Amino acid sequence: MSVSFELQDELQALQDIPNYDIPNEQDPSSHDPGPLLQQAVGAIAHSSEEITDPEIFDIFRSLLKHSDAVAGPYMSKMLDALLSAFGAQIDAAIRDSKEEDQQIVMAHKLPLEMYAFLVNWFVGAAEKVKAMGEEDAPPAPVKARRGRGGKASTSRAAAAAAKKAEQWTWIDQIPVTLELICKALKLKTHRIWVTSPERDAFITCLTRPAYHVAESEQYMKIQNVRMHVYKVICLAVKHHGHTLAAQINIMQSLQYYEHLSEPMAECLSILAKEFDHAQLGDEILREIAGKSFSAQDTKGPRAFSRFLVRFSEESPRSVLKQISLLIGHLDSESYPMRMAIVEVIGSLIRELATSEDMTSRTNGSNQASKQLDGLFELLLSRTLDLSSYVRSKVFTTLSKMLDLPLRLPEQRLRITRAAVDTLEDKASTVRKAAVSILVKLILTHPYGEMYGGDLNLEKWEERYKTWKDKLEEMEGGIGKAVERDQDDKEEIDSNVDEEDGDEDEDTEMEGTDVNDDADASSHSPKPQKRKASRKSTVDVTAIVSEQEALAALETNEILAMGLRKKYCTEALDFVRTLEGGMVLLTQLLGSTNKAEVLESMEFFRVASEYQLASAEKGIKRMLHLIWHKDNSSTSEDGKELKGVRSRLLECYRMLYFDPLPDMEPKQQVNRIAKNMIELTYEATLAELTSLEEMMRIMMEDGQIHYDVINKLWQVYSAPQVLSRSQRRGAIIILGMLALSKRTIISEKVDTLLKIGLGPFGKADLTLARYTCLALQRLNGSAKKVKGSLLDKSLRMEMDNPIFRKLQNTIEHPCRSKDWFCMAEQAINTIYALGEHPDELCNNLVKNLTRRAFAKRQNAEEPPFEPNTDTMEVDQEMEPPEPASHAPSSTHISTQQSSTSGEKDLGDVFHLSQLLFVVGHVAIKHIVFLELVEREWKRQKDEKQLAEKLAAGGSPNRANKETEELDQVAGNAEDEIGERIAAVRETELLYGEQSLLKLYGPLLVHVCGSPHKFKNRTLRAAATLSFSKFLCVSSQFCDQHHHLLFKILETSRDPNIRSNIVIALGDVAVSFSNIIDENSNELYKGLSDGDLVVKKNTLMVLTHLILNGMIKVKGQLGEMAKCVEDEEPRIADLAKLFFTELSTKDNAIYNNLPDVISHLSTGDHAVEEEIFKSTMRYIFSFIEKATENIVEKLCQRFRLSEDPRQWRDIAFCLSLLPFKSERSVKKLIEGLQFYRDKLHEEGVYDRFSEILSKARSNKSANKPDTELNEFESILDEHRRQGEEDQAFEKRVEGKKAAAKRKATRRCELYV
């Protein structure tokens, strides 16, 4: 008996399984399903046609309906039986399909549909069995993956089968099931199912298991399962008209299953490549192109974007056909879709660039080139996208294009320009991507084939000029050659005409001979031979062909030269574009984003290797990153970032210190030493400080070989003539390395004294200065801990040769201004190393005093020494005879007066030297006294500890007290500190036995008499020493600090003013109350015309204010002015100050009213636009207590009458966020203060901005009703104010008219 079965109806009914009706339904939960299953399995095993038996079919349907009650082994048995019978039925249908009788073939329709239905149902039911199996036997799934395979031996067949049955899992059966479905899809369905709906229902029933399996992310991770799913879909689409249904299913999969984005793209790619069916992919692309995505939707765009990217990678040609539709998504609100189209365009460019049309230069290359240009233009236009993610993705995509074999020089130049322009992008990720692509552009640039790859601008300009001149010369030569050729052609033509005339005559003669005599034919060849030999004298054809060959050769040469000129032009454009971005790239080294800094460092490393001229500045700027703290390593995009400091050391090693291949060891050492020395050339103090830290770290890590150190010593002590900068560089580097290991210097002290403090040092004072710095390293580099009593410094006896050499160097007669820097370091060395430095300095000051005030004699000192900076090489010279007793008559400048004779004049330079030394000795002696105080306290603590031990104290306690020596000096008696303070306060400058006491009045006299002492060097030295004296004693400072402020105000020398500003900072550290009272004078430096004075003032004030040494008393407005200074360094320093100040408690909030008043009104007011930009920056630090600021600003309206002030106050109000209800209410309550100012256009506009800002607030307590009322009140008062203004104008007009009439009447009466 056959069952009535309609596949479409059954599939529809299967949507509601609990209500699915089965005529002979069996409930396996009430009794064991084993016998039933055995009956059904036996039937279909006997004949696959038995499935049409209603009883057998209903057994399978019952078991599937109640699959949650069926055990795994039974499900496994059922699946094996169904698949086996279904396979047999398929084989039979394939065999019978070869028969011509249609009825035989159609007889398989019902069994095939029933088997397909059951397999489809089983796939859905198998999931429940799997879940149940996991609950019953947790270990089963682990072993199940291992074991469905062939049986190794017949002896274990039964055991293996039993184990397999117990551990059955659906995941192992999926490939087998899908493989059978693929087999079913090879049927000729058009012969079995005549109508399309029936055939479509069968195909849907077969493909639904594949889509169901695809919905599981776990299954799709398995390669075998994934490929079978693809095969089912592809076969159904290719052979059974499943295109529309597949399109619907794939679009739904993309929308609801995010993990299917890339698998569906792979499936469509396989369908197009292996099954030659690209229509489905085209249809899906068109449908996606027609969709629209909102900015709020995140899941959908992400899935579709991943699909598009993967499909463009797998089948770029299919996407290329639809790109005109897809690019509409570049304007989509959803940025993931815009990012996807960017990546798609990148895949298309890659496809076009590697196509045969472009590589083989076929006829289609022009079309491909146009497409490439269009796609590049689209890609580059997205560098202006609103989303930083899209902009960053553009550069990531373009970076991949640079690896293509096709060079694309024009596109490379456009990419370079776009990347340089993007260096100013506000998003750090975009800037990083731009820097990254610039590095890639340099590494892959196409301009290295002819000249080795360097990108030096000067070299390329020279190459361009060479080819340009050659090309012009050749073109000029060809022009002259063309004229000569034309003359030659005319001559040849005339000769040819003559020969043609002779030829004609001969022909005529030949004709007459023929007519007269019939035998004349035997003579006819003779004239031809004669003529031919005559023609050979001027072979026209040969000449013409030779000229054509020469012309072709010259044309090829011109073409080649033109190409080389173009090649150089493109290279120049590329190099100039890179050079144009160097300033911005240098600024990025100071970024707060670690990844961006690392990328910029890599750029400068690569640029330096390729010899870009401006890279050197970036390499020097990188040096300051040595102070970067690499405490924590951050990660970005899953990548761990190297520390900035370690990356800096790596870059410098690669550039300067790593050995080069194929170089002898000796040459390696010479190269590394040379690079080290060259790093000091033209280096600023900041650069040398950073270089010192780097050298110290490298020496500590053992990265500098001793051969290099020995080479540096050889350069320093070389007897032959060397450039001064070379010898200086060697001792600078050696001094830096000695910070880590003092033996580098201690083993070569004799060399230092012989060279640096010997003839070479006296000839080159800068060399002597750096030698003194190196000698200071003998004292070690242990950092002093604040409050610690330990002192690890090394002290020497004063009879050491070092001190004698230092004194001789200072006292050596000299006229160079470099002497002052050298003398400063020499005195520093004396105080750093000497056990009793005051003794030596005492003699030094006395000797210099005698020389300065000695009577002038006729004997002359050695001639004036030129500035050492202008000397390029050493001068071999012996030290001159001491002549300190004979002042020079060629002194720099002497003060002459009408009342004084020649005998009253002294040498001004000697006096400058004396005053400089006196001042520096005074300041160094303060530091020395602090060291004495610490030493006394340490000795006292040790004495107390020894007494306790002697008294029987325990060792543990003694050890504990020993550790306490490193603690704060408060352990010692305060009387030591008071005693040292008294010495400093009363004895140094006022003691009866004090040598410095004599020079205080002298300094005051010189500094206070600018008309007497006009020499700039003297005044600079005197002012500097006077400033140092002020730091010694509060009594001296209190008496004379006004003189320093007076000099700051009146001096025309910016160096003096700059020194005074720095000195005032030091004075403020010593005696803060004195400077605090006169801080207004210090703020005047911010208005100084000299940049250095202004910068120093700003830095000093920043230091004093942030450290609490002076109080801010309304002068913060002067600091705020610097935020918008024209000089970027000043503006950056000011912004840094306010950033740091914002970390202090309410510091900016408390001073905000004063800043607004200072910038808005009075003599200090700035332009309105500058005021706005400044306040916009300062208000960015205001986060709390905004309602109080609103109240204070509203009250300011009451006291102001100037419309400019109204606009400024309104602007400041508009900068506040108005996020809270209280701040809005405060604004409304203050209406009485500003309602009469609303007629001013700028004021009303700002309040309109405030209203829109308050309304955009998403707070639940937003007072909408009050805001609406407030708006109507504002409009009303504005209108009323405008009417009042108009009325006042009319009244004023009438008054003026009446006044004019009265004036005319008076004139008439008179």
Residue/partner pairs of 665-674 with CB below 8 Å, 24 or more apart: 665/707, 669/705, 669/707, 669/708, 669/711, 670/711, 672/705, 672/708, 673/708, 673/711, 673/712, 673/715, 673/730
Taking 50 as the pLDDT cut, the residues of the chain under it are 1, 130-166, 362-363, 482, 488-538, 540, 858-904, 958, 965-966, 968-972
Give Cα 946 to chain centroid, integer Å.
Answer: 60
End-to-end CA distance of the chain: 141
Predicted local confidence at residue 546, as pLDDT: 57
Q: pLDDT tens-digit profile of 41-52?
A: 888 888 878 788
Q: pLDDT tens-digit profile of 428-438?
A: 999 999 999 99
Sign, CA dihedral 281-285-287-288, equals positive
Q: Which residue has the tokens 């009265």?
A: 1302
Predicted local confidence at residue 601, as pLDDT: 92
Predicted local confidence at residue 149, as pLDDT: 39
Predicted local confidence at residue 155, as pLDDT: 40
Q: What's the whole-model pTM score?
A: 0.77
CA distance 661 to 648: 22
Predicted local confidence at residue 1229, as pLDDT: 84
Helix, strand or coil for residue 4? coil
E strand or H helix at 640: strand 639-640
- In our burial notation (b when 16+ CB lie closer than 10 A, e otherwise), range 33-49 reads beebbeebbebbeeebb
Predicted local confidence at residue 1239, as pLDDT: 76
The tokens for 1060 are: 């005074």
Q: pLDDT tens-digit profile of 1043-1093?
A: 998 998 888 899 999 999 999 888 888 888 887 787 788 888 888 888 999
CB 886, CB 860: distance < 8 Å = yes
Distances (CA, A) of 332 to 207, 301, 328, 388, 660: 34, 10, 7, 15, 53
CB 1059, CB 1020: distance < 8 Å = yes
Distances (CA, A) of 1309 to 555, 813, 1232, 1303, 1306: 101, 91, 51, 10, 5
Predicted local confidence at residue 464, as pLDDT: 78
Helix, strand or coil for residue 336? helix
Q: Which amino acid, one-letter code, is at 941?
A: D
CB 411, CB 376: distance < 8 Å = yes
The mean pLDDT of the chain is: 79
Predicted local confidence at residue 73, as pLDDT: 81
